[in-house]
């Protein structure tokens, strides 16, 4: 069984901060027995620990405050977008990175500070751009020439000057999954550096576009500091080029997100404080060398804020022992509520929530209930011997689980519960069959 001895001064961990085992041998999160939460809310069940989310956000706030005095932390909404989490992020003074009209609409309905919203995406629709302009959000991050035309057209029609960032592809390779690399040259995102002058000529001739800064995002689940430092240097070099050639001194650089977390004990995440120190030190040094005023530093953590705060609980159903081979433990969820294993071959850590003190372990494979052979959540994990009705809890599922969930096989999406030491509350209701067919004709 995993060791639940937690050090609260470590940002990245396998479990929510307030994780324990009670005298019944049950898993407890923020004072709530997981088996009791299941009795109240059913399974599959997403559980988000509010304390862990806030603690992780404060790790970024405190680290940047320590090393630099001009920054903005944007919560990457795509990792887990819902009104309640947006409200918590807004109350903590975070900004928000959205990538769709749906995420922007949710932020508006949550009462988010519109001036702290940055709108990303490589193929924003005209309707989405109009929504952003109408609501006077903080920044629109321009990704390509087509979008540059749409921004100019719609800003002119609205008789507004809109603040934008230009997304650049810095050509940085990171040791991460091919599907979540975004900073290398062969990427669908951003302008290649060789097109910067073409972009700038369009912007300087526009009366409706106000360039505030540059953006890059080099990928996700990154365990190295140096790529972030390199990204800072590349963006500042382009800021210098723009200042020298167009007499515009940019006031922001956005280095994206991507800091990895621990999904298993094999993962070795970087220190947030060391990341902040390294990136801001290079920023200050490079600005001094280039004769630039130090810009506002913007970052966009999502996974590293919300993933460790979340767990998913499943109920065990069928059990199949293949002769002389593996043992399959089937649960009442799978690829529809967590598509990462089948998409990225992502790995996770799990426990049996109602048998935390059991010492008799066996190697099993946790299988999903969906009609795909590849619907496997975790291969070859050591767990206590399970029976029908036991509760499997998978850790670090706060990011890219609910947000990437689907109704595959017409299964209703799971409920999500927010817990803290005082209470538990449903922040996303469980879908019903009627919800699923409500748009069918």
Q: Which two tokens stand for residue 40?
A: 């109240």
Same domain, 178 and 235: yes
Residue 173: predicted pLDDT: 58
Same domain, 235 and 351: no
Same domain, 293 and 315: no
Domain hosting 410: range is: 19-50+308-437
pLDDT per position as a tens digit, 37-50: 999 999 999 999 99
Same domain, 289 and 318: no
Residue 29 lies in a domain: yes
413-438: average pLDDT? 97
pTM, rounded to two decimals? 0.93
Residue 174: predicted pLDDT: 46
Residue 13: predicted pLDDT: 72
Q: Are 122 and 143 in contact, with CB atoms under 8 Å apart?
A: yes
pLDDT per position as a tens digit, 307-352: 999 999 999 999 999 998 999 999 999 999 999 999 989 999 999 9
Residue 190: predicted pLDDT: 87
Residue 373 lies in a domain: yes
Residue 67 lies in a domain: no
**Active-site residue, from 82, 142, 299, 371:** 371
Residue 55 lies in a domain: no
Specify the CATH number for the domain of residue 130: 3.20.20.10
Same domain, 180 and 318: no
- Least confident range from 97-101, 135-139, 217-221, 249-253: namely 217-221
Q: Which two tokens stand for residue 393?
A: 């809890």
Q: Over 90: is that where the pLDDT of 285 sits? A: yes
User: CA angle 432-438-441, nearest 5°?
Assistant: 145
Q: Over 50: is that where the pLDDT of 184 sits? A: no
Same domain, 127 and 260: yes
Same domain, 294 and 331: no
Largest CA distance in the chain: 73
Where is the domain boundary, 301, 327, 349?
301
Total number of domains in the chain: 2
Same domain, 323 and 287: no
Q: Could you give the angle at which helices 196-204 and 145-157 cross, rounded to 10 degrees?
A: 10
- Least confident range from 117-121, 262-266, 353-357, 378-382: namely 262-266
Q: Over 60: is that where the pLDDT of 3 sits? A: no
Residue 94 lies in a domain: no
Residue 341 lies in a domain: yes
Alpha carbons 314 and 397: distance in angstroms, whole number: 12
Please name the residues in contact with 338: beta carbons below 8 A apart, sequence gap of 6 or more.
Answer: 312, 377, 394, 397, 401, 404, 405
Total Cβ atoms within 10 A of residue 115: 11
Specify the CATH number for the domain of residue 341: 2.40.37.10
For 20, the 3-state DSSP assignment is strand
Among candidates 223, 225, 249, 401, which has minimal Cα distance to 313? 401
Count of residues making up the chain: 441
Strand ordering across the sheet containing 32-33: 19-21, 27-29, 32-33
Indicate if 371 belongs to the active site. yes
The strand ranges marked E within 197-349 are 209-215, 252-254, 296-299, 310-321, 327-331
Residue 189: predicted pLDDT: 78
Distances (CA, A) of 378 to 220, 337, 348, 390, 392: 21, 14, 6, 16, 11
Alpha carbons 280 and 148: distance in angstroms, whole number: 30
Residue 188: predicted pLDDT: 81
Residue 225: predicted pLDDT: 94
pLDDT per position as a tens digit, 24-79: 999 999 999 999 999 999 999 999 999 999 999 999 999 999 999 999 999 999 99
349-359: average pLDDT? 96
Q: Are 403 and 81 in contact, with CB atoms under 8 Å apart?
A: yes
266-283: average pLDDT? 96
Where is the domain boundary, 301, 318, 341?
301
Residue 177: predicted pLDDT: 37
Helix residue ranges, H only, 68-125:
83-91, 101-109
Alpha carbons 228 and 96: distance in angstroms, whole number: 20
Same domain, 325 and 267: no
Backbone angles phi, psi at 202, to 5 degrees: -65, -45
pLDDT per position as a tens digit, 396-421: 999 999 999 999 999 999 999 999 99
Residue 65 lies in a domain: no
Among candidates 304, 145, 142, which has minimal Cα distance to 211? 142
Alpha carbons 289 and 239: distance in angstroms, whole number: 13
Is residue 377 very low, low, confident or very high in pLDDT (cuts 50, 70, 90)? very high
Same domain, 252 and 364: no
Give the strand pairing for 27-29 and 32-33: antiparallel
Q: Over 70: is that where the pLDDT of 284 sits? A: yes
Residue 182: predicted pLDDT: 44
Please name the residues in contact with 429: beta carbons below 8 A apart, sequence gap of 6 or more.
Answer: 415
Residue 229: predicted pLDDT: 94
Q: Which two tokens stand for residue 315?
A: 């109920």
Give the strand pairing for 391-395 and 415-419: unpaired
Residue 394: predicted pLDDT: 98
Where is the domain boundary, 254, 282, 301?
301
Residue 11: predicted pLDDT: 38
Same domain, 256 and 331: no
What is the average pLDDT score of the chain?
Answer: 93
Residue 60 lies in a domain: no
Same domain, 338 and 430: yes
């Amino acid at each position: 069984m995993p060791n639940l001895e937690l050090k609260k001064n470590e940002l990245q961990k396998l479990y929510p901060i307030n994780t324990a085992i009670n005298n019944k041998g049950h898993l407890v999160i923020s004072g709530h027995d997981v088996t009791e939460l299941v009795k109240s809310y059913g399974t599959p069940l997403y559980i988000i620990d509010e304390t862990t989310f806030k603690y992780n956000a404060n790790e970024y706030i405190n680290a940047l405050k320590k090393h630099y005095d001009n920054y903005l932390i944007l919560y990457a909404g795509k990792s887990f977008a819902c009104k309640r989490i947006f409200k918590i992020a807004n109350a903590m003074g975070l900004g928000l990175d959205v990538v769709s009209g749906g995420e922007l609409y949710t932020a508006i309905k949550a009462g988010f500070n519109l001036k702290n919203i940055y709108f990303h995406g490589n193929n924003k629709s005209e309707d989405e751009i109009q929504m952003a302009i109408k609501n006077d959000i903080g920044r629109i991050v321009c990704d390509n020439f087509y979008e540059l035309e749409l921004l100019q057209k719609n800003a002119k029609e609205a008789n507004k000057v809109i603040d934008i960032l230009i997304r650049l592809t810095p050509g940085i390779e990171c040791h991460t999954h091919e599907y979540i690399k975004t900073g290398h040259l062969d990427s669908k995102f951003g302008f290649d550096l060789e097109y910067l002058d073409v972009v700038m000529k369009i912007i300087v001739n526009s009366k409706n576009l106000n360039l505030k800064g540059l953006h890059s995002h080099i990928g996700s689940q990154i365990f190295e500091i140096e790529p972030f430092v390199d990204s800072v240097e590349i963006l500042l070099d382009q800021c210098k080029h723009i200042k020298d050639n167009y007499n515009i001194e940019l006031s922001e650089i956005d280095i994206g997100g991507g800091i990895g977390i621990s999904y298993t004990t094999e993962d070795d995440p970087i220190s947030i404080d060391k990341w902040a120190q390294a990136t801001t030190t290079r920023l200050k040094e490079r600005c001094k060398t280039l004769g630039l005023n130090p810009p506002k530093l913007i970052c966009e953590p999502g996974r590293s804020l919300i993933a460790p705060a979340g767990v998913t609980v499943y109920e065990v159903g069928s059990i199949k022992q293949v002769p002389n081979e593996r043992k399959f433990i089937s649960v009442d969820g799978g690829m529809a509520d967590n598509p990462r294993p089948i998409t990225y071959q992502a790995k996770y850590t799990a426990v049996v929530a109602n048998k935390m003190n059991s010492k008799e372990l066996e190697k099993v494979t946790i299988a999903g209930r969906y009609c795909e052979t590849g619907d496997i959540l975790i291969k070859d994990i050591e767990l206590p011997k399970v029976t029908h009705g036991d509760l499997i809890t998978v850790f670090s599922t706060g990011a890219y689980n609910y947000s990437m969930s689907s109704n595959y096989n017409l299964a209703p999406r799971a409920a999500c519960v927010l817990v803290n030491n005082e209470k538990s509350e449903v922040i996303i209701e469980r879908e019903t069959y009627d919800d699923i067919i409500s748009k069918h004709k």
